[in-house]
């Protein structure tokens, strides 16, 4: 940032006078991060300021302070240190250690993918940092190369515990079932809205980060966040050697085991992952936290099973896999790539084929498309009182928001993330809190910052 731009920046309201703003480091859905100087201690700091509308929302303010408290409890050289935080009169801020170098994502963008050994070294440092957090019962839940940084001297720092949650935290910290994390690095259990997220979810994200660091590509690309998440649930893990042929089998097996779709088949602790990464680098391995002989060693590529069945090895659908695939194809024709996620989810709770068809039909909002889907599933009775109407009834609008508002929210969100929007709007509207709170929760599901701003701007009239 130029000196002229720095001088034109206005200091955030109510920030203590001891902090001199030097420039803007970044902005997101919950606020901005500023580069500043602590006049009292004469040191550079980073100041995270929660946006006014988030600070006034009790849930978001609580999450922000949880980040501060969680991070402040952690004292580790690989974790950014928290210096101060406050929340007064709708103004919340967090002062933390300033990292004077790039994120791993930024470094890779400038210099290209890392070598196998360097990637193993960096993720090994991330394992150290996360291990310290996990031992305090704190899960990061948004591990990605963007949140891993390097100082100018080369020291590794893990940043942004904005989604952190204590393992034994109350339901107030994060709404149960909420999808939190970044689509390119999110674990299957986060996508499925599991109520219990543990350290193995962070390990999955470490595996996805390893893949990215050596290939320069994320494991799964997609046309939308929903498409990417459906691929995390169902698609086999691509062999990173297809993009980086010189990778060793040991390194690829570490990526594969870290990214196993079933948490029971992953590394059970960051120490286990670090031990294998140390072996890849040829350094002395650390003692493992667990040495379980019953944990399967996945090979690359992972084998795809239909409609999300890979997430649970004991999964027994109410119909054949071929039938599930036909349902998925028919549903995809109506609502897009979210179909695979929904078939996998609903087939786990439906006891019979007819119950599964009814549950899936409820996700098709258009009556004509619902009729086509039912016909593809062999349901010919689509008159009054049939599954055609039962699906419509199951899609009734939550009482917390008027139907026209829900329709507007769904349309704007669908423009940003695709067909999963309808499901998310229904869920967030049911959680209550008023229009502003619902909009902010929905904005958190838009991974791209620019798209998120467009989404919020399009709904400005609803927020007035």
- Segment 172-192 mean pLDDT: 65
For the segment 186-224, what is each residue's pLDDT rounded down to a tens digit?
999 988 877 678 999 999 999 999 999 999 999 999 888
At 414, give phi and psi (nearest 5°).
-60, -35
Task: List pLDDT tens digits, range 247-284.
Answer: 999 999 999 999 999 999 999 999 999 999 999 998 75
**Length of the chain measured in residues:** 464
Looking at residue 20, which CATH number applies to its domain?
3.30.200.20
DSSP 8-state secondary structure symbol assigned to residue 373: H
Nearest-5° Cα angle at 107, 103 to 110: 145
Residues 240, 247: contact at Cβ < 8 Å? yes
pLDDT exceeds cutoff 70 at 67: no
- Asked if the structure places residue 147 within a domain, the reply is yes
Q: Is residue 394 part of a domain?
A: no
Q: Is pLDDT above 70 for 415?
A: yes
CA distance 24 to 281: 38
| Tokens, residue 102 | 């790039």
Q: Both 131 and 241 in a single domain?
A: yes
> Are 366 and 430 contained in the same domain?
no
242 & 286 share domain: yes
* Pairing outcome for strands 43-50 and 19-28: unpaired
Residue 39: Cβ within 10 Å count: 12
* Alpha helices in 161-298, H assignment, sequence order: 188-191, 199-215, 225-234, 249-258, 270-281
Q: Of 40-49, 67-76, 220-229, give the lowest mean pLDDT range.
A: 67-76
Lowest mean pLDDT among 322-326, 339-343, 426-430, 450-454: 339-343
Q: Which residue has the higher pLDDT, 249 or 28?
A: 249
Distance CA 245, CA 225 (A): 28
Owner of token pair 């720092």: 157
- The answer to whether position 398 is within a domain reads no
Shared domain for 253 and 269, answered yes or no, is yes
Mean pLDDT of the chain: 77
User: For residue 368, what pLDDT is reported?
Assistant: 84
390 located within any domain: no
What pTM, to 2 d.p., does this model score?
A: 0.61
Indicate the residue among 97, 128, 143 that finishes a domain: 97
Q: Could you read off the pLDDT of 356-403 as tens digits, one per residue?
A: 888 888 878 778 888 888 888 888 765 544 556 544 333 333 445 777
Reply yes or no on whether the pLDDT at 300 is more than 90: no
Confidence band of 350 (pLDDT split at 50, 70, 90): confident
How crowded is residue 111: how many other Cβ atoms within 10 Å of its Cβ? Answer: 9
DSSP 3-state assignment of 273?
Answer: helix
Which token pair is 220? 């799964």
Q: How many domains does the chain have?
A: 4
Task: Give catalytic residue positions.
Answer: 142
Nearest to 445 by CA among 415, 400, 413, 422: 413
Are 149 and 118 within one domain?
A: yes
- Of 78, 97, 116, the residue at which a domain comes to its end is 97
- The residue segments making up the domain with residue 348 are 308-378
Same domain, 295 and 338: no
Domain CATH code at residue 232: 1.10.510.10
Tens-place pLDDT, residues 302-329: 333 333 333 333 446 678 777 887 888 8
Q: What is the pLDDT of residue 13?
A: 59
Which candidate, 150, 248, 152, 267, places its Cα nearest to that of 205? 267
Closest among 329, 341, 328 to 261, alpha carbons compared: 341
Q: How far apart are CA 148 and CA 399, in angstroms?
A: 42
pLDDT over 80 at 178, yes or no: no
């Amino acid at each position: 940032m130029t000196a002229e731009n720095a001088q034109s920046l206005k200091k955030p309201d109510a920030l203590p006078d001891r902090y001199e703003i030097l420039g803007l480091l970044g902005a997101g859905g919950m606020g901005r991060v500023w580069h500043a100087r602590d006049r009292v201690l004469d040191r550079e700091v980073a100041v995270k300021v929660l946006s006014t509308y988030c600070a006034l929302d009790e849930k978001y303010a609580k999450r922000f302070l949880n980040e501060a408290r969680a991070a402040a409890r952690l004292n580790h050289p690989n974790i950014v240190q928290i210096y101060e935080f406050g929340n007064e009169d709708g103004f919340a801020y967090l002062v933390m250690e300033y990292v004077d170098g790039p994120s791993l994502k930024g470094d890779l963008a400038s210099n290209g993918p890392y070598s196998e050994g360097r990637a193993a070294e960096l993720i090994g440092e991330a394992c150290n940092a996360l291990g310290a957090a996990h031992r305090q019962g704190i899960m990061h839940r948004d591990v990605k190369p963007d949140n891993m940084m390097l100082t100018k001297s080369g020291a590794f720092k893990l940043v942004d515990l904005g989604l952190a949650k204590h393992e034994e935290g109350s339901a107030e910290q994060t709404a149960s079932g909420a999808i939190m994390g970044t689509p390119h690095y999110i674990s299957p259990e986060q996508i499925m809205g599991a109520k219990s997220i543990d350290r193995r979810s962070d390990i999955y994200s470490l595996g996805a980060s390893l893949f990215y660091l050596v290939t320069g590509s994320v494991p799964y690309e997609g046309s939308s966040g929903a498409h990417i998440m459906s691929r995390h649930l169902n698609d086999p893990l691509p062999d990173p050697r297809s993009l980086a042929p010189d990778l060793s089998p040991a390194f690829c097996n570490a990526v594969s085991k870290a990214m196993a779709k079933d948490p029971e088949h992953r590394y059970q602790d960051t120490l286990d992952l670090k031990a294998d990464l140390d072996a890849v680098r040829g350094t002395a391995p650390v003692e493992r936290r667990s040495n379980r002989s019953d944990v399967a060693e996945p090979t690359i590529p992972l084998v795809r099973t239909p409609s999300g069945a890979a997430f649970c090895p004991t999964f027994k659908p109410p119909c054949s896999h071929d039938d599930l695939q036909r349902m998925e194809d028919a549903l995809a024709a109506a609502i897009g790539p979210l179909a695979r996620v929904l078939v996998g989810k609903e087939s786990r709770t439906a006891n019979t084929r007819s119950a599964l068809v009814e549950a899936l039909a409820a996700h098709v909002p258009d009556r004509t498309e619902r009729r086509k889907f039912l016909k593809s599933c062999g349901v010919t009775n689509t008159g009054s009182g049939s599954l055609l109407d039962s699906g419509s009834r199951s899609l009734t609008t939550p009482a917390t928001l008027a139907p026209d508002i829900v329709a507007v929210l769904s349309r704007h969100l669908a423009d940003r993330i695709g067909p999963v929007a309808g499901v998310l709007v229904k869920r967030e509207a049911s959680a209550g809190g008023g229009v502003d709170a619902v909009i902010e929760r929905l904005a958190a599901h838009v991974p791209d910052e620019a798209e998120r701003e467009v989404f919020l701007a399009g709904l400005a009239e609803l927020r007035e």
